[in-house]
């Protein structure tokens, strides 16, 4: 992912007002390892169900406001993040919804999907499996995961942008 500034992120929100975008709490951008991310995701510390996601869409950043469902998937069962496709304990995956951009979003239309509750798909997909006979090399598995995550985050973003 290309590095971003606070100003770039604030100006790139597509599903909230400019005033609300100005009040979004920013993550510590100086701590971000940009080369190891397909998107930037963070939670609002003062509003635990509110989260934000920024991706590059072509040559411009696009930021989204998300809301986590009040309930998480029950612990003790497994679940899969729809973005990274990594199976995890149910409590580590949450349903997030995002208002659509434009008029449809102002009318209440949303797009939802299951995402890693900590929004840290980029780290999870980079955990390479141990090498094994008759298996593709671990670095190729990680590369395929990266490509899949990029494709699915792009599709989710397209869903929010569609009117």
Asked whether the beta carbons of 40 and 54 are under 8 A apart, the reply is: yes
Task: Write the CB contacts of 156 (distance below 8 Å, at least 6 apart in sequence).
Answer: 82, 83, 98, 111, 113
pTM of the model: 0.92
* pLDDT beyond 90 at 84: yes
Q: Give me the pLDDT at residue 93, please.
A: 93
Region 88-110 average pLDDT:
92
pLDDT in tens, 108-129: 999 999 999 999 999 999 999 9
pLDDT band for position 73 (cuts 50, 70, 90): confident
């Amino acid at each position: 992912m290309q590095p971003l500034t606070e100003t770039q992120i604030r100006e790139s929100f597509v599903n909230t007002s400019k005033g609300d975008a100005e009040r979004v709490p920013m993550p510590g951008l100086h701590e971000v390892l940009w080369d190891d991310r397909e998107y930037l995701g963070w939670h609002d510390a003062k509003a635990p169900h509110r989260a934000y996601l920024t991706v590059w869409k072509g040559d411009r950043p696009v930021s989204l406001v998300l809301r986590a469902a009040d309930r998480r998937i029950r612990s003790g069962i497994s679940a899969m993040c729809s973005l990274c496709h990594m199976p995890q304990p149910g409590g580590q995956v949450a349903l997030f919804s995002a208002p659509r951009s434009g008029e449809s979003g102002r009318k209440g239309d949303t797009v939802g999907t299951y995402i890693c509750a900590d929004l840290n798909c980029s780290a999870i997909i980079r955990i390479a499996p141990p090498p094994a006979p008759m298996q593709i090399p671990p670095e190729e598995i990680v590369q395929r995961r990266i490509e899949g995550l990029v494709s699915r985050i792009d599709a989710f973003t397209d869903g929010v942008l569609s009117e």
